[in-house]
Chain A
């Protein structure tokens, strides 16, 4: 584990199919954009270090793996996330009107009461807008979320979206410092055996 990393945060990206969730993820983590990006396949989550306010955090940003198409994201996808990015497409009003449903999903499944939410209006490079900036902002105010407009294609707003989210998470007491002691990841190669010789393991 790198010592200079303050913490690892789990960030979710949710929203309707085709709003550019994976594109935002790719733009942010790899500064890459694939105009041919089809349906999400093979994208699980990506990690990236980010420095905000002098603190370096490691982000694990989870993509939906296409399971949002028929609204079949598993409850376990939402577990223990500290932040969520809710994406809509400013050129498709329908994706905006579905945000409410996504907020509701978050409400049901997120295990952290004070999870930080960021609403992102994507694809502002597209000329035909169906959702104004004002509408997006109003929605965000009403639901007390952060808000930004962005374009994964042109890079606009992408970095800020993640930075602001992380900034807010770090400022929120009790959201990320609490580590549930004793949880086990079975694939941890160097699993900490804090209790020392707890059994016969060294015998084998």
Chain B
């Protein structure tokens, strides 16, 4: 491995999770020299997407394989070397299972595991609905068409993430698809949650005049929302009313009948509501004397809540939901093409464009700290690389810095299926809120089809996740048993539900709410991994916080110029390019040892 990295940086970032990547982009963007480095050979860390072969081996991978403590490295007086990485934040309880045969035997189709499959001939005879017969071999042949998220995420169309993409001009590096329907599990069936105006308008039960009236009403609500919302109590009524108005509208009711207090919407600050500060949102909805169905839609889907969710939180969630409607597509949610793993790559790309140096699959021999416990640098191969700040993914942190961090877990399940949970003519990108345990817990379900670039044609990937109580399998069992065919096939009854071809359960650490500053040295910053939220706005908040502690009073990810605005090789036209970026090019040039000596072959492939 005869390559050389520069040996001085402003900041070293270890790990390529989303928070680390955002920080890398933000630091490069303001002219800081950044080394973004990882012992792993792929982008994304705990946020990555894998193809089918890779995820197959996910559990076998030793995350810390490249992080043994280096020996014989020359350090300065008082400096010591600390091992990179800890074992506190790993994926756990991983279990993977195929429910289809490895391959089809030519004539005599064997029953694998006593399960499944001599259906080919029957169906050929019938001539109708010839179902694809899937085998492990067939799916693995298409392995590269899979991009399976280990931390699937959706984005609110007007959430912080999307706004950041736009304001920083990073949007050009990724494409999105809109979630095309939101479902919930109601009275033993999957029901579509009405959340678009076209749903409302297509309802034949509502007259044109009523439609106009209602839209006018809703407009007024939206306009005054910001001010009114600050008065939290009345705001609660107000937002909820707005929600109900649209729901009633969809279902052809007169909103004033369903929500009697609604007609006072102009004077809602006068509405005498109880104080709901210490009560649940569910209690609030109950008090409003709404029908059970309406409560269900609002509580479990639009407010993304449970029966235990505090009132203020439920209202806040509704507000986010409504605010993100109508920007792209029919629902408030976006999913990134080719998987959630693409998100961090977009930020890495921007960082590189602004001079960030990227090195994956590196042999990291330890962090260097001085006697005052200040970060000084790290050892990579035989090199000592120094920097004034360190940012690292929580899983890369030395054991000592995270000893008091509490870890909760997320129960996750990934399923490859042969059809959608709710069949339809066109392919849907589905978000399903499934209330577990009588509404005490919410299970998020995301179903992706081939249009998202995450799986081959004819196949769906279903992600499920919820806060871990028992094991992932036990936690998700209720939802799994309702959505999919049971594994024990009953030959008499034709089960129309999709079959699970492959399943993968695991527990993922959730560290977003933990205090990550407590035991960390002053110039070393820990980045949380994925949390249990649908979106990544909380992670963006964390990234901003870390950035501001490192570089107070500097703009976080200002708009990057468009390619047309950058002119290279013409000194007279520099206004759009930062001077320090130029300077950096020079520095790098000097530091970079002769290009010819660099043997990139030794790097191995990035997979």
Where the two chains meet, the residues of A that have a C-beta atom closer than 8 Å to any C-beta of B are 16-18, 22, 26, 30, 32-34, 37-39, 41-47, 65-67, 69-77, 79, 92, 94, 98, 101, 104-105, 108, 111, 180, 182-187, 191, 195-204
Contact = CB atoms under 8 A, between A and B. Distances in A.
Q: Which of A45, A67, A94, A180 has the most CB of B within 10 A?
A: A67
25 contacts: A17-B600, A32-B570, A33-B569, A39-B588, A42-B568, A44-B563, A46-B563, A66-B357, A67-B352, A76-B174, A92-B596, A94-B596, A182-B178, A184-B176, A184-B177, A186-B166, A187-B166, A187-B169, A187-B171, A195-B198, A195-B330, A198-B330, A200-B322, A201-B326, A204-B222
B98 interface: no
Nearest to B49: A75
Contact of A203 (B5, B201, B222, B337): B222
Among the interface residues B345, B346, B358, which one has the most CB atoms of the partner chain A within 10 A?
Answer: B358
4 closest A-B pairs by beta carbon, nearest first, are A201-B326, A199-B326, A187-B171, A34-B569
Interface stretch (B56-64, B415-423, B579-587): B579-587
A38 B589 contact: yes
A186 B168 CA distance: 12
Contacts of A75: 43, 338, 341-342, 345
B325 A79 contact: no
Contact of B566 (A33, A42, A182, A186): A42
A182 B352 contact: no
Given A66-B352, A199-B326, A72 B196 contact: no
A185 B171 contact: yes
Contacts of B352: 65-67
Nearest to A39: B588
Nearest to B576: A42
Contacts of B604: 71
Interface residues of B, number: 78
Contact of B198 (A42, A98, A196): A196
Contacts of A37: 569
B198 A201 contact: no
A38 B354 CA distance: 14
Interface in B348-378: 348-349, 352-355, 357-360
Looking at chain A's contact residues, the main secondary structure is loop
A77 B175 contact: no
Contacts, number: 194
Nearest to A68: B600
A185 B246 CA distance: 28
B354 A41 contact: yes
A73 B606 contact: yes
Interface of B: 3, 5, 43, 144, 162, 165-166, 169, 171-178, 195-198, 201, 215, 218-219, 222-223, 246, 322, 325-330, 334, 337-338, 341-342, 345-346, 348-349, 352-355, 357-360, 451, 453, 563-564, 566-570, 577, 581, 584-586, 588-589, 592, 595-596, 598, 600-601, 603-607
Contacts of A182: 177-178, 329, 451
